[in-house]
Amino acid sequence: MGAFAGRRILARGELLLAALLLALGALAWLVTADRMRGMDAGPGTDPGTVGFFVVVWVVMMAAMMFPSVLPMVVVYSRVSRRHGQTPFFVAGYLLTWTAAGLLAYGLFVGGRAVVGDALAWGRGGRWVAAGVLVVAAVYQLTPLKDRCLTKCRGPLRFVLESWREGRRGALRMGAAQGAWCVGCCWALMAALFALGVMSVAWMAFVAALIALEKLAPWRVAANRAIAIGLLAIGIGLAAAPSSVPALTVPGSGGSMTRMDGGGPMPAKPTPMRPMP
């Protein structure tokens, strides 16, 4: 009876942990939608100051990744049997994604500073965005992608092979899992930048793809389907960007934005015409 009761308590704790993580993910979605309202300028959207970007990025990662990383967190909690260590595991995971976001920010801002207007939408930006989607599609089918995805889809094996004691060990394990997750998803995140990093619609789309490839039982079919979908979007960006659903085409009269977190910029007033 004691062992049975212990299993029931453990199962109840895992359910509460899962509910908490999903609730935090849902809250992150609400905060993200509020912060990004009116900020989507399509491909090449200005990510703002580094401080603003980091805050938005971390909340984005919580919203996008918590549902798909849930099995890993639950298995870690079950093996460790110390719920006080689980937040450190999650924190390590987010720390790795924060570092990845800062690297992406540096590449984006640095690249724009070097090439200037050469990557503007009316010049080379359209083709660069389409190329990023094609690269993301190809990466879906590479051995490296498959290896990283295997680490993300095998929670028990990862926890047992990577086990470290204590809170510091939990932080290191979470960071390691985050690194495998970055290796798995970096191309999808690059696709998000190409489509509009401040677009909630594209963010939800990429999050759905990540959940599909990590949680669906038919991994190979899911990967191929995602590759085909990304390739189709890339071709659409190059051939007829206005036909791509949910895409804000730069310069098409979409919302103007401010990147200090203050929300949409007020529209420029129409000059008064003199009375005849």
User: For position 41, what pLDDT does the model report?
Assistant: 79
pLDDT at position 252: 66
Strand partners, 264: 257
d(CA 142, CA 39): 34
Question: Is 264 within the bounds of a domain?
Answer: no
Asked if 96 and 148 count as a contact pair (C-beta separation under 8 A), the reply is: no
The confidence band for 144, taking pLDDT boundaries of 50, 70 and 90, is very high
Contact 104, 98 (CB under 8 A): no
Over range 74-79, report the average pLDDT.
Answer: 91
Which are the contacts of 185, defined by CB distance < 8 A and separation ≥ 6?
A: 210
- What's the predicted TM-score (pTM) here? 0.82
Residue 145 is assigned to a structural domain of this protein? yes
Q: Which residue has the higher pLDDT, 268 or 208?
A: 208
Percent of the chain with pLDDT over 90: 49
In a domain, 250, yes or no: no
Q: What is the pLDDT of residue 210?
A: 93
- Pick 221 or 172 by higher pLDDT: 172
Q: pLDDT band for position 268 (50/70/90)?
A: very low
Question: What's the pLDDT band for 11 if we cut at 50, 70, 90?
Answer: low
Q: For the chain, what is the domain count?
A: 1
Range of the domain at 128: 8-243
- Please give the pLDDT value at position 189: 94
Residue 95 lies in a domain: yes
Q: What integer pLDDT is reported at residue 218 of this predicted model?
A: 86
Cα separation values, 190 from 175, 196, 202, 230, Å: 20, 10, 12, 12
Is 265 within a domain?
Answer: no
Quick one: pLDDT at residue 40? 79
pLDDT at 207 over 60: yes
Judge whether 258 lies within some domain: no
